[in-house]
Amino acid sequence: MAEIKKITVENTDGTIEVISKGLVANYSDGEDNTVTFNMVGIGGKDLYAIVMSMVSLGEQMGFFGDKEVSR
């Protein structure tokens, strides 16, 4: 399997960002709702920080309270 060197993001205004350390999640609608991740320059501590930040965001948005989240 090839190793990812960089992630390129093209913005609607035409500007381009090159990410040398980060994570991109791709969500595929369909029967299986597949989520795939591409990471570049990420180690264990980085991934932990990303996951904890996403959990915190979910809490702030009310996804993990007494509300049921539909999938």
CA 55 to CA 40: how far, in whole Å?
Answer: 21
Q: Is the pLDDT of residue 68 over 60?
A: no
Q: What is the pTM of this model?
A: 0.66
Reduced to 3 states (helix: H, G, I; strand: E, B; else coil), residue 24 is strand
Reduced to 3 states (helix: H, G, I; strand: E, B; else coil), residue 50 is helix
pLDDT digits (tens, 9 = 90+) for 12-65: 999 999 999 999 999 998 888 899 999 999 999 999 999 999 999 999 998 887
- CA 43 to chain CA centroid, Å, is 15
Please enumerate, as own/partner, the contacts of 41-48 that have beta carbons within 8 Å and a separation of 24 or more: 46/21, 47/23
> Could you state, in order of their start, the residue ranges of all structural domains in the chain?
7-60
Q: Is the pLDDT of residue 67 over 80?
A: no
Alpha helices of the chain — where are they, by DSSP H?
Answer: 44-60
Q: Is the pLDDT of residue 71 over 80?
A: no
